[in-house]
Amino acid sequence: MDLPKLQEKLYVAVLTDVLDQMGYRQQATRSAFFAYTGTDKLLGRCKTTLWADIFNVDENPYEMELQAVDSCQPGDVLICAAGGSNRSGIWGELLSTAARNSGCVGVIVHGAVRDVAKMREMGFPVFATAKNVYDSQNRQKVIEMDVSVEIDGVVFNPGDLVMADEDGIVVIPSQIEEQVIEAALQKVDAENITRDAIKNGMKATEAYQKYGVL
């Protein structure tokens, strides 16, 4: 599967529509994620981490997050499930650099990030819910990795396809990814035909009745 080519053609809304039609109605987030580094589209496979707030001195700071970053494979999107916490900025420039070196194509953080300007200079895709200048040491840590995690009611499993853009984030379960991708590509083509018809003067009702796409 050529993920870079699919990233050019697909977008979160069309994938969500297809999943909806297939009965998978809880695959996209509703919370606001921001493309903080200016790269507004991301597609890859979930590499998951589960974070927790801590309130004590961590005897092994950064231990599991560094393991997660170093074990990324080409095409991975690192998922930081931090419960939306704004206790610290859990992702920044150095982790982005190390993750990219491992083949990671971007990160999704349900929480806060920092070093935004540096990551923007890198062109590393970062989607997060907040910014926070505080370091994560003794504030937050990874407690599990490569496990199923939940963000905003959506389950992210290791290896699932995940896409993020300005509309939101959607996860495609691995067992149906081929059907979803095929149907989404067909829907994109149909939407293009419908859009052209409307641009050329066809009424929206007529276009929907003729092409069945809106």
Q: Is 165 annotated as a binding residue?
A: no
The whole-angstrom distance between residue 164's C-alpha and the CA centroid of its chain comes to 4
Q: Is 53 annotated as a binding residue?
A: no
Contact 61, 141 (CB under 8 A): yes
Type of residue at 10: L
Q: Are strands 126-131 and 140-145 parallel, antiparallel or unpaired?
A: unpaired
Among 75, 62, 35, residue whose Cα is nearest residue 158: 75
Q: Is 65 annotated as a binding residue?
A: no
The sign one gets for the Cα dihedral 51, 52, 55, 61 is negative
Q: Is 93 annotated as a binding residue?
A: yes
Q: Residues forming the annotated binding site for substrate?
A: 92-95, 114
Q: Residues forming the annotated binding site for Mg(2+)?
A: 115
Q: Residues forming the annotated binding site?
A: 92-95, 114-115
